[in-house]
Amino acid sequence: MIKSVNELATRQDAARARFYGDQISIGVGVGTCGLANGSREVLDAIRDEVTKRGLKASARGTGCVGFCQAEPMVDVLVPGLPRVFYHKVSVQRARDLVKGLVEREFHPEWALMRLDHDELLAETDRPLNASLNGLAKVPTADQMPFYKGQLKIALRNCGFIDPGNVDEYLASGGYAALAKALTSMAPDQIIDWVEKSGLRGRGGGGFPTGRKWRSCRKAHGYPKYVLCNGDEGDPGAFMDRSVMEGNPHAVLEGMAIGALAIGSDQGYIYVRLEYPLAVENLAVAIRQAEAEGLLGENILGTGFNFTVRISRGAGAFVCGESTALMASIEGFSGEPRAKHIHTAEKGLFGKPTNLNNVETWANVPVIINKGWEWFAGIGSPGSKGTKVFSIVGKVKNTGLAEVPMGMTLRQIIYDIGGGVDDDRKFKAVQTGGPSGGCLPESELDLPVDFDRLVDAGSMMGSGGMIVMDERTCMVEIARYFTDFLRKESCGKCTACREGCQRMYELLEKITNGAGTTEDVDLLQEVCEYVRDNSICGLGKSAPNPTLSTLRHFRHEYAAHVVDHKCPAGVCPALTTFIIDKEKCIACGRCRKICPVECIAGEKKVPHVIDEARCIRCGSCREICPVDAVVTA
Partner 1 sequence: MALVKTTIDGHEIQVERDRWALEVAAEMGIAIPTLCHHPALEPYGACRLCVVEVTRGKWTWLTTACDLPIREGLSIRTDTEPVLKARRTALELLWAEAPDAVEIQQLAREMGVLKPRFAQRVKEGRCILCGLCVRVCRDLIGRSALCFSHRGTDRRIGPAFNAATDACIGCMACAAVCPTDAIRVVDEGSVRHMETFHTDLDLAACEVCGKPSVPVKLVEFIRSKLPEDIPVSSLCPKCRRSKTAGTLTDVTLLAAQLGYVAETAAGKGK
Query: Is there a contact between 254 and 368 (Cβ–Cβ < 8 Å)?
Result: no
Least distance (Å) between residue 191 CB and partner 1: 25
Which residue number, 293 or 545, has a Cβ lying nearer to partner 1? 545
Which of 333, 411, 512, 576 lies at the binding interface for partner 1 (CB under 8 A)? 333
Query: Is there a contact between 279 and 241 (Cβ–Cβ < 8 Å)?
Result: no
516: β partners: none
Helices in 382-444 by DSSP H: which ranges? Answer: 409-410
Can residue 532 be called a binding residue for partner 1 (CB under 8 A)? yes
Of the listed pieces 5-13, 48-56, 371-379, 528-536, which binds partner 1 according to CB under 8 A? 528-536
Which residue number, 134 or 350, has a Cβ lying nearer to partner 1? 350
Least distance (Å) between residue 335 CB and partner 1: 8
Which residue number, 373 or 525, has a Cβ lying nearer to partner 1? 525
Subset of 560-589 contacting partner 1 (CB under 8 A)? none
Q: What is the largest CA-CA distance in the chain?
A: 83
Can residue 337 be called a binding residue for partner 1 (CB under 8 A)? yes
Applying CB under 8 A, what is the total number of residues that bind partner 1?
32
Can residue 538 be called a binding residue for partner 1 (CB under 8 A)? no
Which residue number, 315 or 588, has a Cβ lying nearer to partner 1? 315
Distance, CA of 417 to CA of 486 (rounded, Å): 31
Which of 338, 423, 582, 595 lies at the binding interface for partner 1 (CB under 8 A)? 338
Distance, CA of 94 to CA of 384 (rounded, Å): 41
Can residue 263 be called a binding residue for partner 1 (CB under 8 A)? no
Which residue number, 227 or 526, has a Cβ lying nearer to partner 1? 526
Least distance (Å) between residue 561 CB and partner 1: 17
Can residue 495 be called a binding residue for partner 1 (CB under 8 A)? yes
Distance, CA of 26 to CA of 94 (rounded, Å): 11
Q: What is the SS3 assignment for 1?
A: coil
Can residue 529 be called a binding residue for partner 1 (CB under 8 A)? yes
Which residue number, 1 or 273, has a Cβ lying nearer to partner 1? 273
Strand order in the sheet with 266-271: 296-299, 304-312, 266-271, 225-230, 353-357
463 in the Ramachandran plot: left (φ > 0), alpha (ψ -120 to 50) or beta? Answer: left
Least distance (Å) between residue 533 CB and partner 1: 5
Least distance (Å) between residue 331 CB and partner 1: 13
Query: Is there a contact between 419 and 395 (Cβ–Cβ < 8 Å)?
Result: yes
- Using the CB atoms, write b or e for 66-96: b if 16+ within 10 Å: bbbebbbbbbbbbeebbbbbbbebebebbbb
Can residue 501 be called a binding residue for partner 1 (CB under 8 A)? yes
Which of 499, 515, 537, 543 lies at the binding interface for partner 1 (CB under 8 A)? 499
Distance, CA of 279 to CA of 259 (rounded, Å): 21
Distances (CA, A) of 469 to 273, 364, 424: 33, 37, 6
Distance, CA of 14 to CA of 449 (rounded, Å): 41
Least distance (Å) between residue 486 CB and partner 1: 6
Which residue number, 18 or 346, has a Cβ lying nearer to partner 1? 346
Which of 522, 586, 617, 623 lies at the binding interface for partner 1 (CB under 8 A)? 522
Angle between helices 494-511 and 474-488 (to 10 degrees): 150
Can residue 341 be called a binding residue for partner 1 (CB under 8 A)? yes
Which parts of this chain interact with partner 1 (CB under 8 A)? 316, 318, 333, 335, 337-338, 340-341, 486-495, 497-502, 505, 522, 525-526, 529, 532-533, 535
